[in-house]
Amino acid sequence: MSKIGFIGAGKMAEAMISGLIANRFAGPGEIVVSDISGERLTTLSSEYGVRITYSNAEVVALAPVCVLAVKPQQLGEVLRDLAPSITQAHLMVSIAAGKSTVYLESLLPAGRVVRVMPNIACLVGAGMNVFARGNRATAADGLLVADLLGCCGRAYEMPESLFDAVTALSGSGPAFFAYLLDGFVEGAVKEGMPREQALILAAQTMAGTAQLLLQKGMNPSDLAAAVTSAKGTTAAGREVLETTVMSDILKHTIQAAARRSRELGKS
């Protein structure tokens, strides 16, 4: 019997599969994947050696732990088809945005559910993966999911009531950070630096800043103050950046994404 199943073979599923195998959480022979795309299944089979099938029911029959990696719009239909096959022995881990554990449990009369919000950095093993347990999920389930998600980044359990904010901040966040970084790159290009080199400098600076904050437990405002000397270059840049308008834009960006997450959850 396979150890872990994936229903859906998209990029996020592939990132998780790669991490599980690289960290020896599961071997290729312990992973079974289903999808409607033969091309995606062939890719995962040839790249990772996992078992593949077009049948979601086969995945559930083979794997007691199943990752639901389908689009939110497809999730309801998938769960209704699978419901008769789900038993109390199954742990269903959903990465579908906006779909609550209450929604998942309403379509699954048995089985335990855990909701996850990953992000695209899982593709390089540096994802931020937040999860919440459903009413039937146990503490042991939480530990298992944390270990599973830890294979492709950082795993953190949070109350599901915060998931709209989670979706906005860490789920959508890579796009927002990339947008800001691109602006800084363009500024360096206008100063004469080749774009390729500017991107390396900017991306490593962003990555190093994040690592410094996390490892040292620093507050971002304290780090900003530590780098800033009176009448220096950083101070000159901060005078441009730190305006009421910019502060409002950043806050409204997260609020808009969280509002859309709430809307998707109700649809």
The residue to which tokens 């950095």 are assigned: 121
Gap between the Cα atoms of 163 and 168, Å rounded? 8
What was the pLDDT predicted at 53? 97
In three-state secondary structure terms, 128 is: strand
Write b or e for each residue in 171-189: b if 16 or more Cβ atoms lie within 10 A of its Cβ, otherwise e.
bbbeeeeeeebeebbeebe
Domain limits of the chain?
Answer: 4-159, 171-266
Rounded Cα distance between 228 and 235, Å, is 6
CATH assignment, 4-159 = 3.40.50.720
Do the two domains 4-159 and 171-266 of this chain adopt the same fold? no
Contacts of 29 (CB under 8 A, 6+ apart): 2, 49, 50, 51
Question: Is 0.85 topped by the overall pTM?
Answer: yes
CA distances from 19 to 37, 117, 150, 172 (A): 22, 16, 9, 21
> 171-266 maps to which CATH number?
1.10.3730.10
DSSP 192-210: T--HHHHHHHHHHHHHHHH
Listed in sequence order, the DSSP H helices in the chain are: 11-22, 38-48, 56-62, 72-82, 101-107, 139-150, 163-166, 173-190, 195-216, 220-227, 233-241, 244-266
Residue 147 in this model has a pLDDT that exceeds 60: yes
How do residues 73-82 score in pLDDT, each as one tens digit?
899 999 999 9
Rounded to whole angstroms, the Cα distance separating 146 from 156 reads 7
pLDDT of residue 119: 92
Between the CA of residue 45 and those of 24, 55, 133, 188, 203, what are the distances in Å?
Answer: 17, 15, 31, 43, 33
Average pLDDT value for residue range 32-50? 96
Tens digits of per-residue pLDDT, 212-266? 999 999 999 999 999 999 989 999 999 998 999 999 999 999 999 999 888 877 7
- Dihedral sign (CA 188, 191, 196, 197): negative
Average pLDDT, the chain: 94
H or E stretch covering 5: strand 4-7
